[in-house]
Structure 1
């Protein structure tokens, strides 16, 4: 199976067009030859019409082309009529997507008023109670027939009214039926979505798109690749558009890095027709990040690149680190094999950073680029290596995109039967003039994070960011986001929406202030139960909204404390971390150096 024609030469996946509303009346066309569409989701209570309208208008002003609004109940879905009417009265024609979980009857109400309905196959007329059950083929077919009976009315109504559907699976909310047959896996996500697609096609309804979201960028990448490959196997007319996103990415630099790895690397492979960056921030901040990620793609790809092969040098649908031998570099550093992926800096950065960094700091450079003795090659051509015991990297070749170059290097080494460790660079020409901070962060994350998700790389070098300290921090943050090294606490935090039962930004900041010293601990902060337990499956602890003003605490995906008052919930979370032996007291801050008295100053007065 192939998810794209070539992992080296850019070619956008050809898809059919779908319509969200009438393009002549402000609607949006997704897919085909149309540019990738940017969308987001408001956070206001769906019953607060004015707040929803105000937030939607602000998103549209920022450049958002599609706006999603949650509809958790039939009552909320009915109020979409008022929201859309008020938007149209104010001259705003942006397509609105109703976000539906659990309640088919809410979908049937929402479809009357909005241009698109998003359904999650994992909890739309299905269940996820994490119950272990073996389904016979007959039982499985009976359950699927029950789901079809619940879903078909919505399909027929969408067809009658000219609406669109988004079939949106989430890694954290697969049904028990899917989990017990396929496991919590990319295959399970894809099969769950295809079941719903087959129901649509059975009724000759084709105005739909897919999404495959996960909070782990590597999982998201694998899911979208597998879906694209499976659709290609199904036939040419299965070329439905893809909505890309990494869900629960978090906030700040970490949220942007995770989003860039998952969304950006897929875009560079030609996948994706609409995107959303999910940040635990005000939704308006998502739009510039979406635009910036899209702007990175032409700079990181080439459709006319001449390469000797189109073979994949990695397993595209499951993560497997490329096998390499462990070598001792000239600086005494071990690299490759089972060693952690190392962080390398140029000599100038090493000299600048080392005097400032405490000896026990987790974030510190581990090697000097100029002193590694790395063999630099052009992977488009054949080359010789003495043996497997030298580090290999790509020469600085301005006409060669780094993402394609290092994939091609991995292919060359495989053809040669070599297991040399690879040093990744985020660019093959140091940018001049220097890039702005956001562009540097996104480009480095797409290239390095994408390659690490492919399983390629034993050491990394960040050069897009010109500030040595920021470049060093970015390198470690990319390794953490890609799941390659853990040097700090990791947070899975969902973006807010109308279902959220507490202020996500405030609570997340409060939890971070208390727990950010817990190296290697993963904490999930979820506003409600919709994606909570499943999306937190690989988190150590979870803080989940259970009811207004009440919080449930989880260990992994198992709830252990219920209906805790929000005012004391963070303290109880700390207690839970202590109970499970994951707590350490933060190290005291080093004493401040005594301030030197300021020299006397002389003043100059002027008379006027």
Structure 2
């Protein structure tokens, strides 16, 4: 299937950086051809000046170029002055960004002391009570006018001070007004941001950065592509830079895989001027991941370029799996079957024995003689595939292009009924940094799977066969293709957090990780829950210091549970909803 060329990217088979205007943030420039700027967020209490300064200095030493700090109250916002002054006293010029959610008055205070303010359109001036109602055009217009009254003072202050503003939409935290007209969709996310951008432009303010974050990489990718396409349709002076992030990515390998899929796929599309990797870990651990992602995509910019452009073989705004036919082997590949996990034939028997009785099993022994290995630019070989019976097709090793671009070329040039085996590398056996290898595998395979391309995957960037098999399944889970364990949406800690997120997430993961297909959100405060839990089945949300509220979907059902009892209460709630199973005895 081919789709008309979309303005979200000039050619999906090569790296072309999106052109954006410069937005100064203190001594740092976002957009305008500058390198991708790396960000993180403090986990310390904003009122603890010394802890915030110490954490910020550690981040800067690790390579962080922009530091964000939560300011949930006017008192917190006022203390940004002390943090800034102490950093400057210690000769640290890093720009500071205030993170604002519900309180315009906190934003007004923070804007006096920072280089950039981030607001979330879903809960800055609008409110959300998850009420279903229809708005007449007049009611909708009236609500937008009220929004302007609340937001314009901040815009005017940013204009006077010459500071920047990030309009940061989050999936799952859209206002009731947007939800009722557009639904909880990428389209609604874009329109929510544009409402605020129009107010900025009306006031002559253009130091704007956009973001469209989601915990689901598929939704995130779609939302950012729709944003960029919409900005281009609006005109060349709408070329504002873009901040990328997978919100609440989680921890460990899961968090790194999700981040590589979402952030990496968009960077490879040339979209993104600044990034933050959101891990439920110490903030300083986010920076090596962000650095590695930036470095990987910088290599794409210098890779050889194909001779000819292609029309996208996928819908960039709405996920649709490529419609291949069944390749009848054991197991069947393509034709709507789950994306299969291939391993090298010589490792198959050992991996089958080691994984017996688990969900993580090898499904296909890779033998080059059973697969059609082609050059994506060899017209004769591609024509020879023709319209005959389905054959499993892949790209021959040694191809000079990054796999993401090469497999898009292949999908655009072969009949759709042939299923495709994806590879994460065309140069197996190359030794490299383990983190870079993990992120590269997740980026190359995950981005293609989010495009709907791929019927089987072969991961060879990880030398250990067992680890490679586990990573393959983690990539399939992160992209929504397979579910073999519980899925966790865990926010990164910040100054609003009401319990120790890392320890709590680890306890919940240990107790519930075996619940295949169940999605659990672990949120440190009411700002991130219930709204940003998005489509989670259950939520564990900080309600007050030492107390937890439990949710089914977005509905709070149990309140103020002492933290030491909350994990057991969560298990009881899951059981009451009929989704609990006992963990395997092993």
Deviations 1:268-326 (A, max 9, x none): 11111000000000000000000011111134455651243331110001111111112
1:461 shift after superposition: 0.3
CA distance 1:179–1:79, shift in 2 (3 Å): same
d(CA) in 2 for partners of 1:366, 1:521: 23
Q: Does 1:38 align with 2:43?
A: no
CA distance 1:398–1:380, shift in 2 (3 Å):
closer
The normalised TM-score by structure 2 is 0.97
Q: CA deviation at 1:371?
A: 6.7
Q: Partner residue of 2:114?
A: 114
What do the CA deviations read for 1:158-181 (whole angstroms, capped 9, x no partner)? 000111101000002100010011
Superposition pairs of residues 52-71 of structure 1, within 5 angstroms = 52-71=52-71
> Which residues of structure 2 form unaligned runs of 5+?
1-5
Could you tell me how far apart the structure 2 residues matched to 1:371 and 1:10 are?
29
**What is the aligned residue count?**
577
Q: Hey, what's the Cα distance between the residues in 2 that align with 1:233 and 1:531?
A: 32
Equivalent residues in 2 for 1:199-598 (5 A)? 199-300=199-300, 304-329=304-329, 332-358=330-356, 360-370=357-367, 373-382=370-379, 383=382, 384-385=384-385, 387-413=388-414, 416=415, 418-432=416-430, 434-589=431-586
Once residues 535 and 566 of structure 2 are traced to their aligned partners in structure 1, the CA distance between those partners, rounded to angstroms, is 21
Moved more, 514-523 or 138-147: 514-523
String of CA shifts for 1:331-352, please: whole Å, max 9, x gaps.
x211112211000011122144
| 1:186–1:226 Cα contact (<8 Å) kept | yes
Alpha-carbon contact 1:300-1:402 (below 8 Å) kept: no
User: 2:3 matched to which residue of 1?
Assistant: none
**Cα contact 1:213–1:220 (8 A) shared by 2:** yes
Tell whether the 8 Å contact from 1:178 to 1:188 is kept in structure 2 after alignment.
yes
Largest Rg, 1 or 2: 1
Query: TM-score if structure 1 supplies the norm length?
Result: 0.93
**Structure 1: distance between partners of 2:401 and 2:564:** 55
SS at match of 1:532: coil
1:370 Cα deviation after fit: 0.3
State the alpha-carbon separation in 2 of the partners of residues 223 and 163 from structure 1: 26
- Any stretches of 5+ residues in structure 1 without a counterpart? 22-26, 590-608
Give, in angstroms, the shift of residue 183 of structure 1. Answer: 0.5
Q: Which residue of 2 aligns with 1:196?
A: 196
What is the RMSD of the two structures over their aligned residues, measured on CA atoms?
Answer: 1.3
Spell out the pairing of 1:75-224 with structure 2 (5 A cutoff): 75-224=75-224
Contact 2:375 2:399 (8 Å CA) reproduced: no
Cα 1:301/1:404, change in 2 over 3 Å: farther
What's the CA shift for 1:567? 1.4
* Equivalent-residue separation in structure 2 for 1:303 and 1:346 (angstroms): 27
> What is the CA distance between 1:135 and its match in structure 2?
0.5
Q: SS at the partner of 2:370?
A: coil
Q: C-alpha displacement at 1:381, in angstroms?
A: 2.8
Task: Name segments (4+ residues, structure 1) moved above 4 Å.
Answer: 300-304
Tell me the equivalent position of 1:598: none
Distance 1:301 1:476 in 2: 29
8 Å contact kept, 2:526–2:541 = yes
Cα distance in 1 for residues equivalent to 2:42 and 2:389: 53
SS of 1:430's partner is coil
Classify the secondary structure of the residue corresponding to 2:471: helix
